Amino acid sequence: MSRAISTLWAITIIVIIIIAIGAGIWWWYASQQGGKQGGGQKVKIVFASTQLNPPEEQAFIKSLLQDFTKETGIEVDFVAISYDQLTTRLQSEEQSGKVTIDLIGDLHGGLDYFASKGWLTDLSNFPSKYGALSGRTFPKVLEDYSKLHGIKAYIPWMTATYVMVVNHKAYQYLPSGLTPDDVKKGTSKWTYDAFLKWAENLKNQTGSPKVGFPDGPHGLFVRFLHGFLYPSFTGYQAKAFNSTDAVKMWQYLKELWKYVVPQSTTYDEMADPLLKEEVWVAWDHTARIKNAIEQKPDQFDVVPVPAGPKGRGFILVIAGLAIPKNAPHPDAAWKLIEFLTRPEIQVKVLQNTGFFPTVKEATGKIPSGPLKVLAQGVAAQQSASDAVVALIPSLGAKGGDFKNIYITAFNKIVLNNEDIKKTLDQLYPQLIDLFKSQGLEVP
Amino acid sequence: MTRKSGESIPLSIKISNYVPYLLLLPTLAYMLFFIGYPLVEGVALAFFDEQGHFTWANVNYLLYDPGSLFWDALKYTILLAAVIIPIQVSVAFGLALLFNAKFPGKNLALYTVILPLTISDVAAGLIWYVMLGQYGFFNKLLMDLGVISHPIIFFGIKNMEFLAIVMTEVWRATAIVFVIIFAGLQMISHEYYEAAEVFGATTWQRFRYIIFPLLLPSLQAALIIRTLFAFQIFGVVWTLAGRDIPVLAGEAYYAQTTLLRPGVAALYALIIAALSVSVGAIYIKFFKAKYLEAGM
């Protein structure tokens, strides 16, 4: 009996092994065949991107790139890569001279670093060499930023920013002298002081606070501190970290926090609290409030942030497309750049990822609806005459320390009620050291 | 029997002498690879810089950097364990005694009690986060019953967040303590109870002199498991309170993912490991079951 079973077992195992070997041979053969086909005629380019890395976004960009392949016959290998990995890979490829990456998609800060190292191709003569990018205009601010270290380092690809969202119900509590239109258009009356009064009204007249921020463990509130409040109150993100203006700013924030929903310290993104109406006025990244606008476009307005004594500070996130020096297929890469900056493609990107177009022509092509609401708010903020644009500093691995300094200051000053000046003075040397250690100017 | 040289021993016996060691070998290899190697790497990460030189930098960061929440994290981790574990053990003990009796619908009740065990800690945290929210089920229920007129705010206020964490953890992880104690209770032979009845022992005497001592090994196992988990508490805290209530494992995660300081994260991990080992040792020392020593 047991012998019969063991024979059966032996046969089963042998069959499994044979199947496995057979499958292995078939797979090897099939992949060889595929390799031959791909290598023969079609050009295949490598597109390494630190953006659009979440699975849904990857699925979207890959299907979009298939359209490109159909049109041009150029195959694109989209490589989702972290900034650290990209830096290491690009460095070794540039140093060894064997460059495999044809196109880089990365944030402004990262591209700035690559350009400073001389790893990027100057794109200024590409339009005349490989064909102009006709029918699209890039805003001046983006054109200016994309010229780095003496070269045209990248073509602006997508932008993102942070905005405020207002539930229509909140407008009836506006302080006197401030109209909903002031808020929507971002006029000079829409200031942080007015915002404070509004927040106070909301709390006192509705019975509970209605202003919220994403200060949860994965929230982006830290960006509000260094990229919005600091530039608006001191004119700089870090340079005037412990100045008298900064002390005034923290006093302001302490005052404001009395009228902020306490659950803010657990919010990672504001879409949910807005939809649940726990929060009526919120600040967050466009991608993180998109869901609320999409579900109830008639309920919310997307508005510019308020202005402070030094202007309307806000962060502009710019993603650009760059071609590494000595890249194998610059012509094909340029064709892909041309494809990705087409207005209709940029609208598709907005619809699927929440990143905003970099070409002016695209805004007119957005169908009315939630995205139009969003795009209008973003456009109003970017065209504000008192804009103080802040770019997220590219501190690489030290980015976490940078954020932690502002978070620590906030926790100590606002949540734990510690002395403002003392806390700031204690943290300031660390902050300056961060920039010094990376050889960067303090923004 | 003496043998002069190895030659006279038959090969089969020679091999069979080593069989116990051979049988231990896979476990040993497993431990070396999955516990020993990471431990060595952890120490290397925490105490050596990239060039391989010994450094106090991570320890200094942990103890003295204004951005480090180490002491708070240590305080809250121990505080949470100190509050949660006694509640869990007493509730589990009570439940186990209850389920040891026979009553209708026992099986259904048993499954209901054990159900939270199947839910991951993050999921449990999210469930309670929604339930305890300003407009969540909990507040709605109390308001509909007329107990409160304004919703109770749990999140953003440290003491309330602490309470929410305790509630969630008790709901989620009492089941594992319960299962262990319940199993231990069922293993106690009925002969003991019968003997006690013959001698006229009261309910309290039966509990004090039969159930409690015989349950000690189970209690010890449950306590060790619970305490070790308590020092690793993370998912529930992270979802309910973020870093408002810092805990050791949460700070390790934060150091690794946000600060990008693997050395500091490794140091936190080593501290958690050291705490767990020492508490485990204390339990083993003090909860040694007496009847085992008495000659079983």
Contacts of A401 in chain B (CB under 8 A): 67, 259-261
Contacts of A259 in chain B (CB under 8 A): none
Nearest to B260 among A264, A276, A397 (CB): A397
B45 within domain boundaries: no
CB contact under 8 Å between A404 and B259, yes or no, is: yes
| pLDDT for residue B31 | 93
Long-range contacts of A117-120 (CB under 8 A, 24+ apart): A117/A91, A118/A149, A118/A325, A119/A90, A119/A91, A119/A94, A119/A324, A119/A325, A120/A151, A120/A153, A120/A154, A120/A322, A120/A323, A120/A324, A120/A325
Nearest to A217 among B67, B129, B243 (CB): B243
Mean pLDDT, rounded, for A51-59: 90
Residue B203 domain boundaries: 67-290
Contacts of A216 in chain B (CB under 8 A): 242
What pairing do the DSSP bridges indicate for beta strands A151-152 and A147-148?
Answer: antiparallel
B156 within domain boundaries: yes
CB contact under 8 Å between B241 and A262, yes or no, is: no
pLDDT at A257 over 60: yes
pLDDT at B222 over 80: yes
Q: A199 near A211, Cβ under 8 Å?
A: yes
Q: B89 near B218, Cβ under 8 Å?
A: no
CATH number at residue B241: 1.10.3720.10
Closest to B174 measured CA to CA, from B118, B225, B117: B117
Distance between CA atoms of residues B104 and A343, nearest Å: 70
pLDDT at B296 over 50: no
> Of the ranges A263-272, A285-294, A374-383, which one carries the lowest mean pLDDT score?
A374-383
pLDDT at B1 over 70: no
pLDDT at B91 over 90: yes
Residue of B nearest to A415 (CA): B244
Residue of A nearest to B251 (CA): A217
Chain A to chain B Cβ contacts (< 8 Å): 69
Handedness of CA B54, B55, B56, B61 (dihedral sign): negative
Neighbouring residues of A81: CB distance < 8 A, sequence distance ≥ 6: A48, A49, A50, A53, A89
Nearest to A278 among B135, B150, B258 (CB): B135
CATH level 3 topology of A44-160+317-372: D-Maltodextrin-Binding Protein; domain 2 (3.40.190)
Distance between CA atoms of residues B64 and A159, nearest Å: 39
pLDDT at A436 over 60: yes
pLDDT at B201 over 80: yes
pLDDT at B291 over 60: no
Tokens matching residue B209 = 């002199």
CB contact under 8 Å between B135 and A276, yes or no, is: yes
Cα–chain-centroid distance for residue A142? 15
| pLDDT for residue A2 | 54
* Other C-beta atoms lying within 10 Å of the C-beta of residue A139: 16
Q: A356 near A110, Cβ under 8 Å?
A: no
B18 within domain boundaries: no
Mean pLDDT, rounded, for A316-334: 95
> Of the ranges A39-48, A200-209, A428-437, B5-14, which one carries the lowest mean pLDDT score?
B5-14
Chain A: residues touching B (Cβ < 8 Å): 207-208, 215-217, 261-266, 276-278, 397-401, 403-405, 407-408, 412, 415, 423, 426-427, 430
B266 within domain boundaries: yes
B42 within domain boundaries: no
Mean pLDDT, rounded, for B42-48: 94
Tokens matching residue A172 = 């009836």
Domain count, chain B: 1
B114 within domain boundaries: yes
Contacts of A407 in chain B (CB under 8 A): 67
Each residue's pLDDT tens digit, A9-52: 888 888 888 888 888 888 887 766 554 444 445 789 999 999 99
B199 within domain boundaries: yes
Sequence ranges of the domains in chain A: 44-160+317-372, 161-315+386-437
Each residue's pLDDT tens digit, B147-193: 988 889 999 889 999 999 999 999 999 999 999 999 999 888 888 88
Residue of A nearest to B241 (CA): A266
Each residue's pLDDT tens digit, A347-379: 999 988 888 988 888 878 888 888 888 888 888
Q: Percentage of residues in chain B with pLDDT exceeding 70?
A: 94
Distance between CA atoms of residues B237 and B256, nearest Å: 17
Contacts of B243 in chain A (CB under 8 A): 217
| pLDDT for residue A38 | 45
- pTM of whole model > 0.90? no
Neighbouring residues of A164: CB distance < 8 A, sequence distance ≥ 6: A281, A282, A283, A302, A303, A304, A305, A306, A377
- Write the CA distances from B264 to A118, A131, B235, integer angstroms: 34, 51, 20
Mean pLDDT, rounded, for A395-410: 90
Mean pLDDT, rounded, for B264-285: 92
What is the band of B295 on the pLDDT scale with cuts at 50, 70, 90?
very low
Domain A161-315+386-437: what homologous superfamily? Periplasmic binding protein-like II (3.40.190.10)
| pLDDT for residue A304 | 94
Helices of type H across B48-102: 57-64, 70-100
Contacts of A265 in chain B (CB under 8 A): 155-156, 241-242, 244
Contacts of B244 in chain A (CB under 8 A): 265-266, 415
pLDDT at B294 over 50: no
- Asked whether this chain's domains A44-160+317-372 and A161-315+386-437 adopt the same fold, the reply is yes
| pLDDT for residue A319 | 94
Q: B252 near B233, Cβ under 8 Å?
A: no
CB contact under 8 Å between B243 and A397, yes or no, is: no
